Structure 1
Amino acid sequence: MAANKKSLRQQRILGELDLEPALRIADLAERLNVSNETIRRDFDELTSQGLINRTYGGAVRRHASEPGLNERHQLHIAERESIAKQSIPVLAGARHIMIGSGATTVHVAKRLAVTMNDLTVITHSFGVATVLAINPTIRVIMAPGLYHAQEGAMHGAQTVRFLENYRVEWAILGASGLDGDGASDALIEAADVYSVMMERATRSMIVADHTKFNQAFPARYCDWTSVDVLVSDESPMGVLDETIRAGGCTIKAPTRS
């Protein structure tokens, strides 16, 4: 009976993580009316089965791929707005920027459109180009290529060759996962574009919320020695924090209360 009770509880945990991409141990323990230690043991078992990834104080569902962009736009809105707000002071004085695709980078582009002027932005993302259009002083250069409908962006060899013709001060990129090896993306084609954007930029910024911590996806596009700034809604903890800083990357996030 105890084993059956544990199995039902772990199925409930997976169900909760399907509804919310990241959950804290304390929150789950309260919902399921069990101790924090019970949830920790469940997390350990589910992690060993490859069903979840542990984060600092919680867990996230492990997926081989990300939801589509439209679905991601409905998640973590407050966190992404916080990231966008923090990113702007770092970009002060920039005149030429490359921006990758993704839900978080669209939030950054929205903030750029209302706070900065006289920019040239090179992007492969239609979402980024659209939100920048509200500011007539921002010149948008759209990269050509093969259209990826789920991501709302251009990819492929033509996109990469086009970007290689430019040099900018900043590349602003999202990520599906952040772990000790660097930043990775679920979409291999996107990783190819992000890599060349970083190569063509003097400095690079990754914008990603805390649910991406300690997650790895198929296409790694950089290690931490290649990233100048990580902007997030929370600071990573433990080994991930140490690894990022050891690579020379600055972490910009709200101070924990």
Structure 2
Amino acid sequence: MSKRKEDRQQQILRELAETPTLRIGDMARTHGVSTETIRRDLDELTRRGVLNRTYGGAVRAMNSEPTVTERHQLFTEERERIARDAVHCMREGKIFMIGSGATTVHVARRMASELRDITVITHAFGVATVLSMNPTIRVIVAPGEYCATEGAMTGAQTLQFLSQFTADYTLLGASGIAADGPSEALIDSGTVYRAMIQRAAKSIVVADHSKFDLTYPYHYAGWSGISRLITDQPLPDHLATVLGREKVVVARGHAAPEQQ
């Protein structure tokens, strides 16, 4: 995929995160390309499961979740900012539990480059792989039934294994961020997230703005059970009010300082 095409498609997804529907003609004018180019973009994004085509436009894919591999291609700059902030606020931790997902892999990669002598318990192969690049980090991978679309272990064996550990921090992604809490499109992954929260002193959710006001099948926690939300844009007012009431710290990831 060309850089220009990738940038255009990511911008389409950003626009769709802020607007319920988009029209092909409007998108073509905004991006300075033909309507046929936009149609091809929408067809490709539909095949990836990140939006749904409509007559003349597109809407959000409300109750579907692309694979973790596909999600790695989206919002990469935003996730890097989130990862930078997440590692900064967890520096005093020694034992971590980390859930599956594209954003948590970004955080794990930064942990591998900046932290030493920590222990991480995870059910996600992507998380384990990037952490293993640092020989001072002890990585413990939970057993269970392998979910290929998420690259992670789930099921009763995973839950039983996690119950043997405690952690300073649990770090989790989310498919949706709504007033009643974070939710997960994959129910089996959501049950693992809930178990991790129960075993940690503090729980952090990392999610970019495209997840705002989306709700998915498995509601794995209320905001009263979450210590911090790290995202990339200001929350809508109604969400900010709810999280403020529950005393959840909301942080926005910041870009790296420019090199002099």
Both proteins in one fold, TM over 0.5 = yes
Query: Is the 8 Å Cα contact of residues 184 and 220 (structure 1) preserved in structure 2?
Result: yes
Per the alignment, residue 20 of structure 1 pairs with 12
Per the alignment, residue 84 of structure 2 pairs with 85
Alpha-carbon shift at residue 188 of structure 1 (Å) = 0.2
Alpha-carbon shift at residue 123 of structure 1 (Å) = 0.0
Query: Is the 8 Å Cα contact of residues 84 and 253 (structure 2) preserved in structure 1?
Result: no
Distance 1:31 1:151 in 2: 31
Task: Write out per-residue CA displacement over residues 97-130 of structure 1, whole angstroms, 9 at most, x where no aligned residue.
Answer: 0000000000000000000000000000000000
Task: Write out per-residue CA displacement over residues 53-109 of structure 1, whole angstroms, 9 at most, x where no aligned residue.
Answer: xxxxxx971421110111101100000000000111110111000000000000000
Per the alignment, residue 107 of structure 2 pairs with 108
Once superposed, which parts of structure 1, at least 4 consecutive aligned residues long, lie more than 6 Å away? Answer: 16-19, 27-30
One-letter amino acid of the structure 1 residue matched with residue 13 of structure 2: P
Alpha-carbon shift at residue 194 of structure 1 (Å) = 0.2
One-letter amino acid of the structure 1 residue matched with residue 246 of structure 2: G
- Spell out the pairing of 1:195-214 with structure 2 (5 A cutoff): 195-214=194-213
- Spell out the pairing of 1:177-256 with structure 2 (5 A cutoff): 177-254=176-253
Scaled by the length of structure 2, the TM-score of the pair is: 0.78
Instruction: Determine what percentage of the aligned residue pairs are the same residue.
Output: 44
Scaled by the length of structure 1, the TM-score of the pair is: 0.79
- Aligned-pair Cα RMSD in Å: 2.4
Per the alignment, residue 149 of structure 1 pairs with 148
Alpha-carbon shift at residue 19 of structure 1 (Å) = 8.1
Task: Write out per-residue CA displacement over residues 166-204 of structure 1, whole angstroms, 9 at most, x where no aligned residue.
Answer: 001000000000000100000000010000000000000
* Inter-CA distance 60–223: structure 2 relative to 1 (3 Å threshold): farther
Report SS of the residue matched to 1:162. helix
Q: What 5-or-longer segments of structure 1 have no aligned partner? A: 1-15, 35-50, 53-58
Alpha-carbon shift at residue 247 of structure 1 (Å) = 1.1
Alpha-carbon shift at residue 22 of structure 1 (Å) = 2.8
Alpha-carbon shift at residue 248 of structure 1 (Å) = 1.3
Distance 1:234 1:18 in 2: 16
Per the alignment, residue 44 of structure 1 pairs with none
Report SS of the residue matched to 2:220. strand
One-letter amino acid of the structure 2 residue matched with residue 198 of structure 1: I
Distance 2:136 2:172 in 1: 22
* Inter-CA distance 18–109: structure 2 relative to 1 (3 Å threshold): closer
